[in-house]
Amino acid sequence: MSYFCLKAKQLFKMSDDVLKYNIKLPEPTLRRLPWYLAYLKLLKDKGEESVSSTQISKEINVDASQIAKDLSFLNITGKTRVGYDVSSLVEVLEDFLGFTKTHRAFIFGAGSLGAALLHDNGLEQYGLRVVAAFDVNPKKIGTIINGIPVYNINDYNQKREELQVNIGILTVPVDKAQSVADQMIEGGIKAVWNFTPFRIKVPKHIVVQNTSIYAHLAVMFNRLTYNAIEKSEKK
């Protein structure tokens, strides 16, 4: 047990070093790391102590060499013939991905998708705590959704200073996406998680993460139609 604790501490230190070295990880790597984490957590729950990149590769459908390369960004190397230590790897990944810290966020637009996200307590497990929502609709202002208050958008600047929030989740209608993004950034938001299908423009130092779940729907519908046609042609 003490070995693992020591090991984890060493690795935590390393992961801090990576941040200190100021490495901007490639986005594809950052997107794959949570897949590894999900699988490693399963292994950990099963009581597995070590895992090889080949073993991860079989489960995740990513080349073993790619996995080793991705994990090397975290300064983690497996041992020959033993592989990676599962517990340490889980801890380092969670830490490195920012899931162990609490990042406070505001939601802009308590409409359908905004309200949906307010209901997702799972976000907090991944380090995101939504502390308030903002809207312009008088019917929504003053309400509480899943324990989170909905304020008037006019109170945003004051609330941001009070609550020290850096992240804004954008779930307003498309025609308001740019103007609300501008307002968020002017008030001090440093990262915009954009759930609208609109491509917002932001200053260079602002982080934008686009998550258009409806675009994913389009891909799925197209593939479904394609498969149905292919199947009917084979008959």
Q: What is the footprint of its own copies within residues 52-81 (CB under 8 A)?
A: 59-61
Nearer to its own copies, 76 or 167 (CB): 167
Among 1, 2, 3, 20, contact with its own copies (rule: CB under 8 A)? 20
Among 7, 12, 14, 34, contact with its own copies (rule: CB under 8 A)? 34
Among 103, 136, 143, 182, contact with its own copies (rule: CB under 8 A)? 103
Among 42, 82, 144, 163, contact with its own copies (rule: CB under 8 A)? 42
Among 24, 81, 139, 235, contact with its own copies (rule: CB under 8 A)? 24
Is residue 202 within the footprint of its own copies (CB under 8 A)?
Answer: no
Interface of this chain with its own copies, residues 116 to 135, rule: CB under 8 A: 116-117, 119-123, 126-128
**Which whole-number Å values give the CA distances from 96 to 12, 13, 82, 100, 204, in the listed order?**
8, 11, 23, 8, 24
Nearer to its own copies, 154 or 221 (CB): 221
